Amino acid sequence: MRFIGRSGKKWNYFLTVFAAMLGLAFSAHGQSGPRGGKASEEAGVSAPSQATALPANTVQIRVECGNPAARVKTIADGLKLLGNFHPAVLLISGTCHENVVIQGLNGITLQGNPKATVDGGSDPNFGTVKISGSINIALNNLTVTGSGQGVGCLGVSYCVLTQVTVENSLGDGADVQAGARLEIFDSVIQNNANAGLGVAGVAAFFGGAITGNGSNGVALRNGGFFATVPGNLTATVTIQNNAGNGIRTALHNTIILNSAIVSGNAIDGVTLQMGSTLDMFASNITNNRGHQVRIGDLSVARFSGFQSNTVTGANFPDVVCDPQFSATRQLLANAVGATTNCPAELPPTP
């Protein structure tokens, strides 16, 4: 935030004092440290427990859930205080019993300080954290639990979860709708009543686990895209012990598995339906109770990475092609030992 033709120091001082009156902290260009010094302390703001790179001019506000003496006791109240100030960080401690709605906002971070829980309660008609029509919304070091849906990334939104646990929701653990993008880093989605992760938009999972959910681990629909990638702290994405398929697609979906383990799920490891595709490398799909990979109508599975994949289980065949018009590519070359009933692969027609 710059003001042409004014003294930078004077305006920074004015903004810092004004923000402190609102219970905020203002981090401006030229100040020492990321928190704005004494004014930040007077506003009841402290630094997160771990180093966090914040842009200049970041507003910070401390939310102390469960502390009756705190200036700001709920995330909702913290969001109201922000007004048009952004980027902004809410430093959250304690257990917040609320349903959080972030709508039409940009550049907001909910940061556990050092960790915190958001409990949405027991009403299945509400989500615990609902992000709608908002860009650059981040959740860090939080546990999200309860309510009908853990985290919803909806509308045209860009959402990022880092070291977040989403558990014990009454619906899907997390859901990303068409038009939205959800990136998940080193996080766990577990023990939710329905699917662990629902995908109709774009979802990328960078290290972590989707486990013990009441339906499919990942459920893709209506053109959804899902990719797994090694994380910063966790080298693999594990999708295991879910009560449905490990990953299920329906209608023109794309899956890219890189460094993934899909194991111990109650039905198939990966099932591709209605014009969906799988590209798999450096991954294992093993010991699921159905088949390891099921390829449905008009769907294709491609196995790449020069023998980097393992596909095996108790039910023959490991890779099953359902009629009509399903196919594999490079299975025998890159998932050595896998059995299949799929038609022999033919070279492309010149």
Distance, in Å, from the CA atom of 162 to the CA atom of 139, rounded to the nearest integer, reads 6
Residue 15 has pLDDT above 70, yes or no: no
Classify each residue of 186-198 as buried b or exposed e, where b means 16 or more C-beta atoms within 10 Å of its C-beta.
Answer: bbbbbbbbbbbbb
Burial class for 221, CB neighbours closer than 10 Å (0-12, 13-18, 19+): middle
Residue 280 half-sphere exposure toward CB, CA atoms < 13 A: 33
Is 257 contained in some domain? Answer: yes
Give 215-256 pLDDT, tens digit per residue: 999 999 999 999 999 999 999 999 999 999 999 999 899 999
Is 326 contained in some domain? Answer: yes
Residue 328 or residue 223, greater confidence:
223
Identify the band that residue 2 occupies on the pLDDT scale cut at 50, 70 and 90. Answer: very low
Look at the chain and report how many structural domains it folds into: 1
Residue 211 or residue 22, greater confidence:
211
Is 28 contained in some domain? Answer: no
Is 138 contained in some domain? Answer: yes
Distance, in Å, from the CA atom of 155 to the CA atom of 176, rounded to the nearest integer, reads 9
Task: Find the CATH number of the domain harbouring 142.
Answer: 2.160.20.10
How much is the average pLDDT of 46-70?
73
The model's pTM is: 0.82
Identify the band that residue 53 occupies on the pLDDT scale cut at 50, 70 and 90. Answer: low
Q: What is the DSSP string of 100-136?
A: EEEES-EEEEEEEEEEEEEE--S-TTSEEEEEES-EE
Cα distances from 59 to residues 82, 89, 322, in angstroms, run 8, 6, 55
Give the DSSP letter of residue 5. T
Give 252-296 pLDDT, tens digit per residue: 999 999 999 999 999 999 999 999 999 999 999 999 999 999 999
Is 141 contained in some domain? Answer: yes
Is 24 contained in some domain? Answer: no
Identify the band that residue 187 occupies on the pLDDT scale cut at 50, 70 and 90. Answer: very high
Residues 6+ apart with CB under 8 A from 303: 280, 281, 309, 311, 328, 329, 330, 331, 333, 334, 335
Q: Give the residue numbers spanning the domain of 148.
A: 120-334
Q: What confidence score (pLDDT) does residue 350 get?
A: 54
Q: What angle do CA 142, 244, 122 make, to 5 degrees?
A: 45
Is 68 contained in some domain? Answer: no
Compute CA 209 distance to the chain's CA centroid, rounded to the nearest angstrom.
11
Compute CA 345 distance to the chain's CA centroid, rounded to the nearest angstrom.
36
Q: What confidence score (pLDDT) does residue 348 get?
A: 60
Q: What confidence score (pLDDT) does residue 25 get?
A: 53
Compute CA 184 distance to the chain's CA centroid, rounded to the nearest angstrom.
3
How many residues comprise the chain? 350
Is 154 contained in some domain? Answer: yes
Residue 306 or residue 93, greater confidence:
93
Residue 46 has pLDDT above 70, yes or no: no
